[in-house]
């Protein structure tokens, strides 16, 4: 589904040039759950941002089901993103002024889904995430785990082909962290492709494949046999 070739990204400040991605090649199949790991500053978040069309690389190619995405303009990128991708962040990034329901509804609004259907879809996902009695609350009134469930619900409500997760358990305790990981696994089992950046090998163990980055290079790739076997 995803074919990334020779991706390069350089950050320039007044004095220093930092190469964040240095000729990355990466293929992700449809329905796969891929973890990207590596030390701080290895370029894993940059890679995720490029995959999510939030950042532009200097050179290389990024094909999504045979469509080259790096040649798109800002508007086309926005359109592509909202139709095909969902995001989960470490710090949840819910809008404080909107309730749980409204936060989850937001991507549907941008996708011009009619109001009646929006209500149905949101209620459905709220039920699935087990946060029905929280739908009128504001984010500050929820625990970290609950906030991340809302964020996951928001990422899934549009039924995206690809979910990008940036350290989704980074701000959670282990119980809540596990809950979120199980949620992602369930999602993956229904056919959604997931790419997750993480520091935690425990979290990575939930995925099919683990890619290790260092200084902007892919240094190793490991098939997670346990999980793959489990799947088989």
Partner 1 sequence: MFKLNLKIALRNLWKNRTITAINVGGLAVALSAFILVMMYATYETSFDKENPNYDNIYVVGITYPEFKTYYTAAPFAKAIKQNFPEVESAGLVKEGSFELTIKNGKNTLFTNKILAADYNAAKILNINPNGGLIKPAGDVERLTYLSNESMKTLFPNKKDNKPEMVGFGASNSGITGIIAGSIKNNLHSNFTFDGVSIANELGKNDNYDMNDYTICVQVKPETQVVNLEQKITNLYQAELLKSKAGKRIDEVKGISTFLDPLSNLHLKPKAGNDAPYKTLIALSVLGVLILVIASINFTNLSIAQATKRAKEVGVKKVLGAYRFQLTTQFLVEIFMQCFAATILALILAELVLPNFNNLFQTHLSIWHINNGLYWQLPLILGVITLIAGIYPAMILSGFKPAVVLKGNFSTSKQSYWLRNGLLVFQFSVAVVFIIGLFIINSQLKYMSKEDLGFTANQVVYIKNISIFNDPIKFEPVREKILKIPGIKSATVATFIPGGINGINNYTANGIKANIDFVDVDFDYFETLEIKLKEGRLFSNEFKTDTINSAVINESAVAKYGIKNPIGQTIRGCNIDYKIIGVIKDFKTQGFETAIQPTIYTIKDPCGGYKTQIMLKIEESKMTEALANLKSQWSTINKLDGEDFRYQFLDELYGKLFKKQEQLQSIFFAAAILTIFIAILGLFAFAKYITNGRMKEIAVRKILGASDIQILKLLNTSFFAIVVIANLISWPLAYILTKKWLETFAYRIEMPILPFALSALITICLTVITVSIQAQKAVKSNPVDALKYE
Can residue 49 be called a binding residue for partner 1 (CB under 8 A)? yes
The torsion angle over the Cα atoms of residues 150, 152, 156 and 157, rounded to 10 degrees, is 10
- Nearest approach, Cβ of 95 to partner 1 (angstroms)? 5
Q: Which is nearer to partner 1, 105 or 179 (CB)?
A: 105
Question: End-to-end CA distance of the chain, in Å?
Answer: 21
Interaction pattern, residues 190-219, with partner 1; x per rule: CB under 8 A? ------------------------------
Pair 126, 135: CB distance under 8 Å: yes
Pair 175, 187: CB distance under 8 Å: no
User: Where is 18: in which H helix or E strand?
Assistant: strand 17-28
Pair 205, 198: CB distance under 8 Å: no
Alpha helices (H) in the chain, listed in sequence order = 44-51, 74-84, 100-110, 115-128, 144-156, 174-189, 201-204, 225-231
- Nearest approach, Cβ of 93 to partner 1 (angstroms)? 5
Of 28-47, binders to partner 1 (CB under 8 A) are 45
In angstroms, the Cα distances linking 108 to 82, 138, 146, 218 are 9, 19, 21, 35
Q: Indicate which single residue of 93, 123, 135, 200 sits in contact with partner 1 (rule: CB under 8 A).
A: 93
Of 143-172, binders to partner 1 (CB under 8 A) are 154
- Nearest approach, Cβ of 144 to partner 1 (angstroms)? 16
Q: Indicate which single residue of 105, 163, 204, 213 sits in contact with partner 1 (rule: CB under 8 A).
A: 105
Instruction: Identify which range of 36-44, 88-96, 189-197, 219-227 contacts partner 1 by CB under 8 A.
Output: 88-96
Residues that bind partner 1 (CB under 8 A): 45, 49, 52, 54-55, 74-75, 78-79, 81-83, 87, 89, 91, 93-98, 102, 105-107, 109-111, 154
């Amino acid at each position: 589904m995803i074919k990334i070739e020779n991706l390069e990204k350089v950050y320039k400040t007044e004095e220093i040039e930092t190469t964040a991605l240095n000729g990355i090649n990466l293929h992700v199949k449809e329905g796969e759950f891929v973890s990207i790991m590596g030390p701080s500053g290895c370029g894993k978040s940059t890679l995720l941002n490029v995959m999510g069309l939030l950042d532009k690389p200097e050179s290389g190619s990024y094909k999504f089901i045979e469509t080259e995405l790096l040649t798109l303009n800002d508007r086309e990128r926005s359109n592509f993103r909202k139709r095909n991708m969902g995001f989960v962040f470490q710090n949840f990034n819910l809008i404080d002024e909107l309730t749980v329901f409204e936060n989850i509804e937001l991507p549907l609004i941008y996708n011009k889904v009619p109001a009646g259907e929006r209500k149905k879809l949101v209620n459905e996902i709220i039920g699935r995430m087990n946060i029905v009695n929280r739908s009128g609350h504001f984010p500050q009134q929820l625990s970290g785990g609950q906030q991340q469930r809302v964020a996951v619900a928001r990422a899934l409500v549009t039924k995206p082909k690809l979910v990008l997760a940036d350290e989704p358990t980074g701000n959670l305790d282990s119980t809540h962290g596990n809950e979120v990981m199980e949620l992602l696994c369930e999602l993956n089992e229904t056919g959604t492709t997931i790419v997750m950046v993480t520091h935690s090998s425990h979290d990575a163990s939930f995925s099919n494949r683990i890619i290790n980055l260092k200084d902007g290079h892919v240094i190793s790739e490991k098939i997670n046999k346990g999980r793959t076997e489990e799947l088989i």
